[in-house]
Amino acid sequence: MRRSSRRPSEGAPAALSLGFTTAYLSAIVVLPIAALVWASRADGVGSFWEVASSPEAVAALKLSLGAALVVSAVNAVLGTITAWVLVRDEFRGKQVVNALIDLPFALPTIVAGLTLLALYGPSSPVGIDIAFTRTAIVAALLFVTLPFVVRTVQPVLLELDRETEEAARSLGAGELRVFRSIILPNILPGILSGVALAFARAVGEIGALVLISGNLPFKTEVASVFVFNHIQSGDQAGASAVAVVMLLISFGILLAIGGVRFLATRHERA
Amino acid sequence: MPRRASRYGLRIVALGYLLVVLIAPLTMVFWRAFDKGADHLWHSLSDPNTVHAFKLTLIIAAIAVPLNTIFGIVCGLAIVRQRFPGAGIVNAIVDLPLAISPVVVGLSLFLLFGRTGWFGPWFQQHGIQMLFALPSMVIATIFVSLPFVAREVVPTLREIGDEQEQAARTLGAGEWTTFWRITLPAIRWAVIYGVVLTTARCLGEYGAVAVVSGHIEGQTETATLRVQDAYENFDLPGAYGISLVLAVLSVLVLVAMTLLKPKESSR
Amino acid sequence: MSIQIRNISKRFGDFQALDDVSVEVEGGSLTALLGPSGSGKSTLLRIVAGLEWPDGGDILLAGEDATTLAPQRRGVGFVFQHYAAFKHMTVRDNIAFGLRVRKRPRDEIRARVADLLALVQLEGFGDRYPAQLSGGQRQRMALARALAPEPKVLLLDEPFGALDARVRGELRRWLRRLHDETHTTTVFVTHDQEEAMEVADNVVVMNRGRVEQAATPAELYDAPANEFVMSFVGHAMRLGDSWVRPHDLEVVLDADESTREALVERVVNLGFEVRAELVSGEGERFNAQLTRDEAERLELERGQIVFVRPVRETVFG
């Protein structure tokens, strides 16, 4: 018989907090998602597949995934460089720049979309008009995903043991070799989890895209806008089908993040 | 010692990137809002529908933020201090809103409370309107802003450990006293930081609320929905005006985040 | 390879870490840089390695000016106090790193790594990760890693500081034996004077960025250049104007003109020797170190009045 592992601190308050947590999460998150998954089965698996693979839906999903991939790749490189400069470099105004990185977190996405439209749209002061193009979609997504890789890489860079870089130098490694063999392997998990978060955000983004992308089916209609439009027009089945695909992508990304975390700590498990 | 050229090179790349993607668009809001003069701006901001939109945004935030704060603290405590099976799953569910598209959130609520939804008929029978009204908008906003307090509280609780709480218990403190006087003060900066993030998310929410609200002018339009509405009705100064207010609020949020971050991370 | 440190100065902000320091390290010798924290010893070592650059002065390695040479090109091996292990690489890969950077052939690397694993007694640990090793094992790995590319100089920065006492002692002796076999010029930094005395051929005593004295351990102990060296290397007490070592203080039961009166406050039995904590009439406190026999003969006990006389004393001008 297993001895009870309850500690003196557990009891009514513990059960209460657990109960509250479960109830809250179920009501707010689990039930709605379950309803969505259920609704997509409405007429059976066949009909779901039919709707989800309609040319318009496929085009929208492809565009979302493609744009998200491009944006993630750009973030992986430029986000890492930005994090590097913020951690290792010193210059006047660095604190301000560091604070500005969080702007896309703080600013409503619809405002972000509007300002990008103002700057790079029909009445652009710098003469660049990319409104209603795929470039606009990428630009808007770059804005909203900017903080992700920067903020996941910064703490990892800060924690790096600088002495390992000195050790590598004393052993004869040049700067590039030091980066490749010593720094990169240690910041890679940070980069990857930032990329995964950026990807998830990019696939699901709606507010920043509503105004600037133009929502032309097959051209600039992303999956989130597809769902939005089909809800407006009463096509719940169509909207649900694509929404479920997006949901599956989200689950996949969460799994990927968990996997990255697992891999990152494998050297520490004795 | 570090090569000069590459250091400047990297710096220019990073700052240039930020300038193009971040700073330039932001300055546009300020410029365009005052396009037709300050008077016009004030006029369009005092439009009753716009005022109502701001009010509605604040009301929703005033409900969602405290609820999510309480949840975040309770859930954080449950995950870290109690080892229950499924803690990992709970943790994952809490992270879910970060990975899901807001329209998917809106749609799932739509399906839940719609005429043919699971709970739709029940609410209809009892005369409570969920969709195209405040309740669904609040739930949508709670969903999307759910994780932030919890995600700040969990690592903080893990890091500080429960020794202080154990000490309090040996000194005779009960559960509530221990929580109120020991645990809460220890996590207060994490909670405050989480509240700031949650508030920012509530103020900026668009997609989920857009789906469930029905965009009814003067009734179910939040500030963000109003921006879209104004833009589509060719009221550009109006759209920029509301955006300006929201942008100013965002800068305040940003300042709060910057000031709080060191306190939050030097637990 | 000989090392010449000439007039090195280094400042960090307001803090003068090194002030016109000059040291000669003979090729093939084992030298210790000894001093309290803040004395500049680690800074000096890092300047020799090329991990810091001095504000003034030169470093010559084998007669050639190496002051502004990058650490990659100096041919020095460096061992850090906290190991600086490449935690994402196996022990084998850690040790092989310097050889891989030099693009040595794979067979040569494999053989050399195997030899080094045997040398540091880590055979069988080759495929483990540093996180799976103890502190002492990690430091042995770090030593093997530094030795792999056959450096002309081996530099160690408080290499045993993070280890517990027993492991520290073992590794200390092991380092000495290694040096006796390989005769690589070795310089190590320590704040532990016992360690410096036990291991090194020459000791450079540093304090507040300056060299106080550079000599063999015996010379430092018997002929300290100033008060600092005398009290830092071994124990010393002030008695009036002169300095006396505890074992140079004779304790007798009868007074005469050369003795002073003292009260025995405490008798500490250290096993092989006895320490008597004494206080003089003027309130000065000092210790005398006696053998067990001497203490027994005097029937030393607390509260006893005895008389002390220095057998040897040093006065600094």
CATH code assigned at B168: 1.10.3720.10
Chain A residues near residue B204 by CB distance under 8 angstroms = 106-111, 207
Domain co-membership, B18 together with B147:
no
Is residue A110 in a domain? yes
Chain A residues near residue B118 by CB distance under 8 angstroms = 31, 35, 38
Domain co-membership, B152 together with B231:
yes
The parent domain of residue A150 ranges over 62-218
Complex ipTM, two decimals?
Answer: 0.85
**Counted domains in chain B:** 2
Domain co-membership, B10 together with B87:
no
pLDDT digits (tens, 9 = 90+) for C100-122: 999 999 999 999 999 999 999 99
Contact residues, chain C to chain A, C-beta under 8 Å: 49-51, 70-74, 76-78, 80, 82, 84-88, 97-98, 101-102, 129, 131-132, 142, 145-146, 148-149
Is A268 at the interface with chain C, CB within 8 A?
yes
Domain co-membership, B20 together with B64:
no
> Could you say which of A161, A171, A267 has the minimum Cβ distance to residue C101?
A171
* Residues C255-263: contacts with CB under 8 Å, at least 24 apart: C255/C307, C256/C307, C258/C309, C259/C307, C259/C308, C259/C309, C260/C307, C260/C308, C260/C309, C261/C305, C261/C306, C261/C307, C262/C286, C262/C305, C262/C306, C262/C307, C262/C308, C263/C303, C263/C304, C263/C305
Distance CA A65, CA B101 (A): 13
Report the residue of A160, A170, A180, A267 to disrupt the C interface, i.e. the one with the largest count of C CBs within 10 Å: A170
Residue contact B169–A114, C-beta within 8 A: no
Domain co-membership, B9 together with B119:
no
Distance CA C5, CA B221 (A): 76
Domain co-membership, B100 together with B3:
no
Beta strand extents in A108-182 (DSSP E only) = none
Is residue A48 in a domain? no
Is residue A95 in a domain? yes
Residue contact A111–B227, C-beta within 8 A: yes
Tens-of-pLDDT digits for all 267 residues of chain B?
445 677 788 888 888 888 877 777 778 877 887 877 778 788 878 888 889 999 999 999 999 999 999 999 999 988 888 877 888 888 888 989 998 999 999 999 988 888 878 888 888 888 888 888 899 999 999 999 999 999 999 989 988 888 888 888 888 888 888 888 888 988 999 999 999 999 999 999 999 999 999 878 778 899 999 999 888 888 888 888 899 899 888 888 888 888 888 766 654
> Can you list the residues of chain A whose pLDDT is less than 50?
1-6, 8-9, 270
Domain co-membership, B24 together with B106:
no
Residue closest to A184 by CA, chosen among A175, B136, C34: A175
Cα B26 to the center of its chain, rounded Å: 20
* Residues C14-20: contacts with CB under 8 Å, at least 24 apart: C16/C209, C17/C43, C17/C209, C18/C43, C18/C44, C18/C47, C18/C54, C18/C209, C19/C208, C19/C209, C19/C210, C20/C57, C20/C210
Report the residue of A22, A100, A111, A213 to disrupt the B interface, i.e. the one with the largest count of B CBs within 10 Å: A111
Q: List the single residue in B with minimal CA-CA distance to A87.
A: B11
pLDDT digits (tens, 9 = 90+) for C22-81: 999 999 999 999 999 989 999 999 999 999 999 999 999 988 999 989 999 898 999 999
Domain co-membership, B56 together with B188:
yes
pLDDT digits (tens, 9 = 90+) for B6-20: 778 888 888 888 887
| Residue B56: partners with Cβ closer than 8 Å, 6 or more residues away | B134, B137, B220, B221, B222, B223
Chain C residues near residue A186 by CB distance under 8 angstroms = 87-88
pLDDT for residue B208: 94
Domain co-membership, B191 together with B163:
yes
> Could you say which of A21, A115, A204 has the minimum Cβ distance to residue B100?
A204
Domain co-membership, B155 together with B29:
no
Chain A residues near residue C49 by CB distance under 8 angstroms = 170
Q: What is the CATH number of the domain that holds A134?
A: 1.10.3720.10
Q: Which chains touch A (3 or more CB pairs under 8 A)?
A: B, C
Is residue A149 in a domain? yes
Chain A residues near residue B104 by CB distance under 8 angstroms = 36, 204, 224, 227, 243, 246-247, 250
Domain co-membership, B15 together with B145:
no
Residue contact A172–C129, C-beta within 8 A: no
Q: Which chains touch C (3 or more CB pairs under 8 A)?
A: A
**Counted domains in chain A:** 1
Domain co-membership, B25 together with B47:
no
pLDDT for residue B251: 85
Is residue A178 in a domain? yes
Q: Which chains touch B (3 or more CB pairs under 8 A)?
A: A
The parent domain of residue B6 ranges over 1-33
Is residue A17 in a domain? no
Residue contact A172–C85, C-beta within 8 A: no
pLDDT digits (tens, 9 = 90+) for C202-223: 999 999 999 999 999 999 999 9
> Could you say which of A168, A174, A185 has the minimum Cβ distance to residue C88?
A185
Residue contact B204–A106, C-beta within 8 A: yes
